[in-house]
Amino acid sequence: DVVMTQSPLSLPVTLGQPASISCRSSRSVVFIDGKAYLSWFHQRPGQSPRRLIYEASERDSGVPDRFSGSGSGSDFTLKISRVEAEDVGVYYCMQGTHWPLTFGQGTRLEIK
Amino acid sequence: EVQLVESGGGLVQPGGSLRLSCAASGFTFSRHWMSWLRQAPGKGPEWVAYIAKDGTPKYYLDSVEGRFVISRDNARDSLSLQMNSLRPDDTAVYYCARDPDGSSKVDHWGQGTPVIVSS
């Protein structure tokens, strides 16, 4: 199975400041079509996950443009340009290239 | 608006069975691959099973292969997960989720239904 490793696991951030989460896979998640099927999800307490980013860098409809995804191969990053209060929760990366689909351990973002 | 509503969760004894259902609306269900995922208390999500648009093929997490069966009824816009020989480590909130395009695998999730396996 492809192991997804996120860092940091805990991320205290001051409102208005940037934040960055890393996600590394144990092998490349680039599919034969050349695309990296790497998604980022945000989960607030008591809610189901919401997808923010797909194919490593494509933002979902309705997702604020302060969220951006980048990376290729086995090294990916989610960035929030200016953290807002509604951004608290846990962020997960997920690879959809290899079976079984696998998730990172999660990064808990909190406001300092 | 895409809506996925799970039902059927509950408390079951080890070795028992449970059938989960997911009612889909707001999109053309028959055009999408679908998944079940789960999330144990305090843990990250875990993919469980995946089914093609017309019901074949199906893929399963190794630990549920032979115990769980994913199925769908495109006439009723419904997804199911039959869970047999349940174990305490199957305890989790179970979600159904849509694959938007056959490639990125998961976009919209339902609100989840809890399954507790305990004596």
What DSSP element (H or E) covers A14?
Answer: none
Structure tokens at A103: 């998730």
Predicted local confidence at residue B52, as pLDDT? 95
CB of A50 less than 8 A from some CB of B = yes
Query: CB pairs under 8 A, 24+ apart, for B67-75?
Result: B68/B36, B70/B34, B70/B36, B72/B29, B72/B34, B74/B29, B74/B30
The answer to whether the Cβ–Cβ distance between A50 and B109 falls below 8 Å is yes
Predicted local confidence at residue A49, as pLDDT? 97
Radius of gyration, CA atoms only, chain A: 13
CB of B9 less than 8 A from some CB of A = no
Let me know how many helices (H) and strands (E) chain A has, helices first: 0, 11
- Is the confidence at residue A34, as pLDDT, over 90? yes
Average pLDDT over residues A8-24: 98
Q: Pairing mode, if any, of strands B68-73 and B78-83?
A: antiparallel
Out of B61, B108, B112, the one facing A100 most closely (by C-beta) is B61
Let me know how many helices (H) and strands (E) chain B has, helices first: 0, 10
Which residues in chain A have their CB less than 8 angstroms from residue B35's CB?
A: 101
Closest B-chain CA to A49: B109
Predicted local confidence at residue A91, as pLDDT? 98
In this predicted model, what pLDDT tens digit does every residue of B61-111 receive, in sequence order?
Answer: 999 999 999 999 999 999 999 999 999 999 999 999 999 887 878 999 999
| Number of neighbouring beta carbons within 10 Å of residue B44 | 20
Nearest CA distance, B59 vs chain A (angstrom): 8
Confidence category of residue A88, pLDDT binned at 50, 70, 90? very high
Predicted local confidence at residue B103, as pLDDT? 80
Which residues in chain A have their CB less than 8 angstroms from residue B103's CB?
A: 31, 33, 35, 37, 96
3 state DSSP class of B41: coil
Distance, CA of B108 to CA of B101 (rounded, Å): 12
Answer for the pair A42, A31: CB distance below 8 angstroms, yes or no.
no
